[in-house]
Amino acid sequence: MLLILTSALSFGQAKSMEFGFISDNDLYTSSKNDMYYTNGLELFARFLSKNNNEKINKKITEFRLGQYIYNPRYINEAAANNNNRPFTGYLFAEAGRSFFYNSESVLKTDFQLGFMGPNAFGRETQESFHHLIGYKNVYGWGNQLHNALGLQAHALYSKKLFPNKHNDFIDLHFQSEGNLGTIFTGLSTGLLTRIGFKRLLPIYDSNLHDASVSAQPQYNVREFYFYAIPSVNYQFYDATIQGSMFNDTSPVTFDLVPWRFNAEAGLKFRHNSFNMSYSFIYHGKELESHDVTGSFYGSIRLGFLIK
Of the chain, the percentage scoring pLDDT greater than 70 comes to 96
Does the structure show a pLDDT above 60 at 16?
Answer: yes
Burial letters for 84-120: b for 16+ Cβ neighbours within 10 Å, e otherwise? bbbbbbbbbebebebbbbeebbbbbebebebbbbbbb
State the pLDDT confidence band at 109, using cuts at 50, 70 and 90: very high
Residue 111 and residue 202: Cα distance in Å, rounded?
Answer: 27
State the pLDDT confidence band at 42, using cuts at 50, 70 and 90: very high
Q: What totals of helices (H) and strands (E) does the chain contain, helices first?
A: 3, 12
Per-residue pLDDT, 12: 56
Give whole-number Cα distances, 193 to 134, 159, 269, in Å: 39, 11, 15
Average pLDDT over residues 152-174: 96
Does the structure show a pLDDT above 90 at 9?
Answer: no
CB 192 within 8 A of CB 161: no
Does the structure show a pLDDT above 70 at 4?
Answer: no
State the pLDDT confidence band at 5, using cuts at 50, 70 and 90: very low
Residue 199 and residue 171: Cα distance in Å, rounded?
Answer: 11
User: Could you tell me the CATH superfamily of domain 2-306?
Assistant: Outer membrane protein (2.40.128.140)
- Greatest Cα pair distance, the chain, in angstroms, is 70
Centre a 10 Å sphere on the Cβ of residue 206 and count the other Cβ atoms it contains.
Answer: 23
Does the structure show a pLDDT above 90 at 218?
Answer: no
| 222-238 vs 148-160, strand pairing mode | unpaired
- Average pLDDT score over the chain: 93
Of the chain, the percentage scoring pLDDT greater than 90 comes to 80
